[in-house]
Amino acid sequence: MLETPPAHPVRPAYADTTFSNGYEFTEGTGYTLPEYPFVAPSELATGEVRRYPIVIVGGGITGLSLACALASQGVEAILLDEDNTVGVKGASSRGICYAQKTLEIFKRLGIYERIAAKGVQWSVGRTFAGEDEVYSFDLRQQQTHSLSLQPPFINIQQFYIEGFLVEQIQALSASQPRIDLRWSNRITAFAQNSEFVTLSITTPAGDYKLEAEHVIDCTGSRSPFRAWCGASVTAKKGDDRWCIADVRFRDAPPVERHTWIEAPFNDKRAVWQHLMADGVWRIDYQMAPNCDPEEVSREDVVRARLNAQFKRELGKDECEIVWVGLYAYRSECLDELRHGRVFFAGDSAHVVSPFGARGGNSGVQDADNLAWKLAAVLQGRAGPGLLDSYHRERHEAAQQNVLVTNRTARFLRPADGAERLFRSAALGLARQHPFARQLVNTGRMSVPNSYSRSPVCDKSGGEATQNVSFLWAGGQPGELVELLNWAGNRLLLLVFGELPPATAKRLRVLSGQTGIVCVQVLAPRQHAQAVEHVVDHSGQLRATCRGESQTGWALLRPDSYVAATGAKINGSLVNAISKALGLQEEIA
């Protein structure tokens, strides 16, 4: 009986991260990051070419999220990274906005509490045209974000999250080897056949080779695997340039996302303003396409820009510049996210402009999508066809993200002619009329993507759930991610309402035959007919599963997506289970 939350294995207490409050606050030189030691792989001593089930290449946020997810599911893997640290040496905060869906994933992986304690939660955004506020939102009031126990967004420097993931992987691998983190291991050559991939690797102590049944490329937008696999890319490059200033103020601005279009203090160009961990603000200034990078990044120029924005002279005791740098962006999407035994994830698979925080969040969600499928196939609970669904689902998500962010990019830097006229008209109307404010586009914020093309989801499924609350059978509060973790990377069948004895028996048989986990979900004052049951005291569990009535069922995947829903326990449920595990041949 699910009277209390399932117990989690005891893990070592987290060590303080070496980079907590460890910035070099020396006017723009960057951040101090942890360094991980090189450990010589056993292959260097033995000369043996070993074969591994999974090799992840790239230790950024996508690769580490994938490794952590596999470790939590008891799957062994190798992670190779050519560097010896998280983040990018000498670089900025990089990604900073982490969306609710990503935070729910981090909750399942066991690092959310650290992120919430370190980062800055926010839900309100305001957009200004000149001095006028022309658009605002509160994501907590929107249906897409209103049920979850996680906030709509937390801002935190990307290297913190990567460091938390490294420590969690180490904790999960402490009692039994799961993830072998190999720092300072660079791949120099690649070959694959129908059975395995061969990788040639160079290290500070020499070269070696290994084989892998599956390789996941998380090396980023400059991935060598694209060329090695002959991957085709649909790309669009713009000439928009931005200057980042990571700044720490003595007197902090409001904890809201503020954006400006035609900012009077930035030559009528756009500006972004976000708070991150440690009281550091990320301010992005849109620059002229032909600007001189060295000129716009100089300390005196950055300070002049800050003085103009805050309408006063900011002394060094009031405003400390942590890092300054220029960036440009482009959009790219591989036409196929799987090439033989190589899967592409994160920026290796797709690159989008930063508007709406759809880059790093999408990479984490790629990892979450692929991890449970790899585990299910390798552990013999699913058919190999399940792995093909990774491309169908995440490619649809990538295309949607590219489309949405490209629209924002065009609004922020419109072409002369019709696009510029449209923006001017939209801003003019938004100043006067509420209906026009939805036309103001400074970034449509990241939300979970729908999987309408999925070969393993029923037409009633393909949508993400939110991490809602319920009561365990003993009355203690619980949340959906705990229930998913308790199910142990298996499909979770939630059956709503009271059950006739024959139906309860049928579910027990079905669970034994298919390996799914069944849980009865009761409304208050209903009586249980199943051993495993919880109470949906607020109706949120049924709501997030798209339940249309007090009865019926919802089949949930380990990545918290709904695979299918139904009204009766019959053949449609059996078919949905088979389909969700990749055991049915795809019907075109």
Band (pLDDT 50/70/90 cuts) for residue 492 is very high
Least confident stretch, 237-241, 367-371, 461-465: 237-241
Task: Give the single-character DSSP code of 465.
Answer: -
User: Which residue stretches of 9-109 are H helix?
Assistant: 42-46, 61-72, 100-109
- Give the pLDDT score at 342: 99
Band (pLDDT 50/70/90 cuts) for residue 588 is very low
Strands 233-249 and 97-99: unpaired
Do 50-119+152-234+333-412 and 469-580 agree at the fold level? no
pLDDT greater at residue 43 or residue 11: 43
Band (pLDDT 50/70/90 cuts) for residue 442 is confident
Percentage, residues of the chain above pLDDT 90: 63
Task: Give the single-character DSSP code of 381.
Answer: S
Q: Which CATH homologous superfamily contains domain 469-580?
A: Glutaredoxin (3.40.30.10)
CA distance linking residue 276 with residue 161, whole number of Å: 12
- Largest CA-CA distance found in the chain, in angstroms, rounded: 77
pLDDT greater at residue 519 or residue 414: 519
Strands 269-275 and 280-287: antiparallel
Q: What would the CATH number be for the domain defined by 50-119+152-234+333-412?
A: 3.50.50.60
Contacts for 272 with CB less than 8 Å, ≥ 6 apart: 257, 258, 259, 282, 283, 284, 442
Q: Is 295 helix (H, G, I), strand (E, B) or coil?
A: helix
- Give the pLDDT score at 23: 31
User: Does residue 26 carry a pLDDT above 70?
Assistant: no
CA distance linking residue 436 with residue 134, whole number of Å: 9
User: Does residue 576 carry a pLDDT above 60?
Assistant: yes
- Give the pLDDT score at 370: 99
Looking at the DSSP bridge assignments, the partners of residue 492 are 517, 556
- Give the pLDDT score at 322: 86
CA distance linking residue 172 with residue 515, whole number of Å: 25
Write down the mean pLDDT value for the chain: 89
Q: From the CA atom positions of the chain, what is the Rg in Å?
A: 25
CA distance linking residue 18 with residue 29, whole number of Å: 18
pLDDT tens digit sequence for 217-271: 999 999 999 999 999 999 887 778 889 898 988 887 778 889 999 899 999 999 9
Band (pLDDT 50/70/90 cuts) for residue 30 is low
Q: Which residue has the tokens 């009271």?
A: 498
CA distance linking residue 316 with residue 302, whole number of Å: 12
Residue 126, Cβ density class (10 Å: 0-12 exposed, 13-18 middle, ≥19 buried): middle
Strands 517-522 and 552-556: unpaired
- Give the pLDDT score at 367: 98
Task: State the angle between helix axes of 61-72 and 360-378 in degrees (0 to 180), rounded to the nearest 10.
Answer: 30
Closest CA to 556 of 473, 472, 470, 488: 488
Q: Where are the domains of the chain?
A: 50-119+152-234+333-412, 469-580
C-alpha angle 96-102-104 in degrees, rounded to nearest 5 = 130
Amino acid at 157: Q
Amino acid at 459: K
User: Does residue 373 carry a pLDDT above 60?
Assistant: yes
Q: For residue 208, count other CB atoms closer than 10 A to its CB.
A: 22
User: Does residue 16 carry a pLDDT above 50?
Assistant: no
CA distance linking residue 89 with residue 470, whole number of Å: 44
Least confident stretch, 153-162, 389-398, 411-420: 411-420
Least confident stretch, 284-288, 547-551, 581-585: 547-551
pLDDT tens digit sequence for 45-104: 999 999 999 999 999 999 999 999 999 999 999 999 999 999 875 555 678 899 999 999
Task: Give the single-character DSSP code of 241.
Answer: E
Task: State the angle between helix axes of 360-378 and 100-109 in degrees (0 to 180), rounded to the nearest 10.
Answer: 40
Looking at the DSSP bridge assignments, the partners of residue 469 are 479
CA distance linking residue 40 with residue 205, whole number of Å: 7
Sequence length of the chain is: 588
pLDDT (average), residues 396-401: 94
CA distance linking residue 557 with residue 13, whole number of Å: 30
Band (pLDDT 50/70/90 cuts) for residue 587 is very low
- Give the pLDDT score at 93: 65
